Structure 1
Amino acid sequence: MTKKAITKKYAALLRGINVGGSRKVPMAELRSVLEGLGHGDVQTYLQSGNAVFSSTEQDPAALARELEAAIEAHFGFRVACLVLDGAYLRAVLGACPFPAAELEGKQLHATFCSRQPGPERFAALVEASYLPEEYRVGDRVVYLYAPDGLGRSKLAEALARPAVVKGLDVTTRNWNTVVKLVELTGA
């Protein structure tokens, strides 16, 4: 009797593409790259580098490395990718320390990290000086409440400093996108 491979749904989050006219990754080509790697049910969401796909591979880090290599081979530049399974995204949604249902999507963000950031990374941040903005660290994610949006957030700027993100692959999505990715992965 042969063992049936388990298929999981994943979201791939690409960092820093299609911004300011550089590092262009058309979503149709990204879908083709993912399909070329043998993944199924490929969909993209928005132009900012969100893709959902199914795979029998059970290691999200291996999927991320494979996708980074394929993107570099296809487009000629490296793009950091985080691959997250649907169950993890659902857990991020459920663990949100802020009242997401009461906020606009542009006010709440999730910065996904390639591994858990330790508390020492945040030691220099004096959160009171950024109020009413706030952040909370979760499981490989930093939740950010920025009432005036990410573009005007001084706290988002501080959280992006090298002392905080050095050695991590990180990428941020607004709450509406996080909710949509959970929906698309069927989690």
Structure 2
Amino acid sequence: MADLAACFRDAGYADVRTYIQSGNVVFTADPATGPELEESLERLLEERFGIPILVVVRSRQELAATITAAPADHGSAELRSDVFFLKHPLTPEEAFAELPPLREGVDSVSIGPGVLYFSRVAARARETRITGFMSKAVFRRITVRNWRTTTTLLAMLDGPAG
């Protein structure tokens, strides 16, 4: 993660911070989001690390809207909850249409702003059918973060840079 942060700093981004070993980088950019920034960062990372890396960028406001729009029980102790962040121009409706039949009483998926919210009942998590979705081509335009990581990233954006 230190190399990842250095890559962003060397490219001129400010307030660069990383979160655990998650591949998440919080930084200041202008513009703050958009397909052009994602493409620029993908080129930067491939040049630096020699492999293609999917980049999905969300501004502070977009991330806050994602958290606010989550289903009421998303992130509850009874569930294992994730956010599937979609790379532009993939829409939530397009991604949702690719989902396999979910296991009733175990899986739930909801559409949000540029995301799909996915939860499974923690006690029955091994019964999920979402793994079929992860093998589809559409999944190459998605990055997944668990709910704790998602909310922690917003807290990092709202906290002091350092």
C-alpha RMSD over aligned residues? 2.6
Note if 1:94 corresponds to 2:68. Answer: yes
TM-score (norm 2): 0.83
- 1:147 and 1:75 mapped to 2: Cα distance? 37
- For 1:54 and 1:64, the matched residues in 2 are separated by 14
| 1:118 maps onto 2:90 in alignment | no
Assess if the C-alpha contact under 8 Å between 1:31 and 1:42 holds in 2. yes
Q: Do residues 65 (structure 1) and 39 (structure 2) align? A: yes
**Identity over aligned residues, as a percent?**
26
Residues 98 and 133 in structure 2, CA contact (< 8 A), matched pair in contact too = no
Deviates more, 1:112-121 or 1:133-142: 112-121
CA contact (8 A) 2:100 2:130 kept: no
Equivalenced residues, count: 157
Please, what TM-score do these two structures have when normalized by structure 1? Answer: 0.73
Task: Please tell me whether the aligned partners of residues 41 and 55 of structure 2 are also in contact (alpha carbons under 8 angstroms).
Answer: yes
Counterpart of 1:118 in structure 2: which amino acid?
Answer: E
> Could you say if the C-alpha distance between residues 32 and 122 of structure 1 is closer, same or farther in structure 2, counting changes exceeding 3 Å?
same
Among candidates 139, 148, 155, match of residue 176 of structure 1: 148
Q: Structure 2: give runs of 5+ residues left out of the alignment.
A: none
Counterpart AA for 1:125: P
Q: Which runs of 5+ in 1 are unaligned?
A: 1-26
- Classify the secondary structure of the residue corresponding to 2:122: coil
Distance 1:176 1:142 in 2: 16
